[in-house]
Amino acid sequence: MSSNSMSSTRKGEQLVPTLEQLRTPSLLIDVRAPVEFSQGALPGAINLPLMDDDERAQVGTCYRHNGGDAALRLGHQLVSGALREDRMAAWRDVIARHPDAVIYCARGGQRSGIVQRWLAEEGLECPRLKGGFKAARRTLMTVTEQAAAEPSLVIAGLTGCAKTDMIKALDGGIDLEGHAHHKGSSFGRQPGQPPSQIDFEHTLSMDLADRRAPYVFEDESRRIGSVEIPLALWQGLCAAPRVLIEMPLAWRLDQIRRDYIDDLWTQYRSAYGPWLGWALMRRQLVSALVRLKKRLGSARLERLLQLQQQAFEAHATTGDSQAHDGWLSPLLSEYYDPMYRYQLSRAEQAPAFTGTWEEVLAFVRDAVEQQRHSGDT
Q: Which of 105, 126, 161, 238 is catalytic?
A: 105
- Domain with 74 in it: what CATH number? 3.40.250.10
Residue 161 lies in a domain: yes
Q: What is the mean pLDDT of residues 16-33?
A: 90
pLDDT digits (tens, 9 = 90+) for 291-339: 999 999 999 999 999 999 999 999 999 999 999 999 999 999 999 999 9
pTM of the model: 0.90
- Which domain does 261 fall in, by range? 250-337
- 356 in any annotated domain: yes
Q: Provide the 8-state DSSP code for 322.
A: G
- Split at pLDDT 50, 70, 90, the class of 377 is low
Higher pLDDT, 7 or 13: 13
Q: Are residues 127 and 241 in the same domain?
A: no
Domain identity same for 308 and 225: no
Q: Please answer whether residues 29 and 46 qualify as being in contact, where contact means their C-beta atoms are separated by less than 8 angstroms.
A: yes
pLDDT digit string (tens) for 107-163? Answer: 978 899 999 999 999 999 899 999 999 999 999 999 999 999 999 999 999 999 999
How many independent structural domains does the chain possess? 3
Confidence (pLDDT) at 5: 33
Pick the more confident residue, 104 or 348.
Answer: 104
Q: Which helix (H) or strand (E) holds 153?
A: strand 152-157
Asked if residue 76 and residue 176 are part of one domain, the reply reads: no
- Considering the domain architecture, whether residues 10 and 127 belong to the same structural domain is answered as yes
Let me know whether 133 and 182 are in one domain: no
Residues 52 and 13 placed together within one structural domain of the fold: yes
The answer to whether residue 342 is domain-embedded is no
Q: How confident is the model at residue 230 (pLDDT cuts 50, 70, 90)?
A: very high
Same domain, 218 and 363: yes
Residues 242 and 159 in one domain: yes
Percent of the chain with pLDDT over 70: 96
Domain contains 118: yes
Average pLDDT on 177-192 reads 88
* Positive/negative CA dihedral, 222, 226, 230, 233: negative
Q: Residues near 291 by Cβ (< 8 Å), separated by ≥ 6?
A: 186
The whole-angstrom separation of Cα 215 and Cα 229 is 15
Q: Assess whether pLDDT exceeds 50 at residue 70.
A: yes
327 lies in some domain: yes
Do residue 361 and residue 318 come from a single domain?
A: no
Asked if the structure places residue 308 within a domain, the reply is yes
- Closest C-alpha to 50, from 32, 28, 37: 32
* H/E segment holding residue 63: helix 53-66
CB 222 within 8 A of CB 228: yes
Tens digits of residue pLDDT in 186-223? 888 888 889 999 999 999 999 999 999 999 999 999 99
Q: Is residue 261 part of a domain?
A: yes
Residue in 1, 77, 84 with CA at minimum distance from that of residue 92: 84
Kindly tell me if the per-residue pLDDT of 9 is higher than 50. Answer: no
CB atoms within 10 A of CB 196: 16
Same structural domain for residues 65 and 120? Answer: yes
82 found inside a domain: yes
Q: Is 105 a catalytic residue?
A: yes
Q: Are residues 228 and 185 in the same domain?
A: yes
Asked if residue 95 lies in contact with residue 126, where contact means CB atoms within 8 angstroms, the answer is yes
**Within this chain, do residues 95 and 53 fall inside the same structural domain, yes or no?**
yes
- b/e per residue 140-176 (b: at least 16 CB within 10 A): bbebbeebbebbbbbbbbbbbbbbbebbeebebbbbb
Q: What is the pLDDT of residue 109?
A: 81
Please check whether residue 288 is in contact with residue 331, taking contact to mean a CB–CB distance below 8 angstroms: no
CA quadruple 271, 267, 166, 175: dihedral, nearest 10: -30
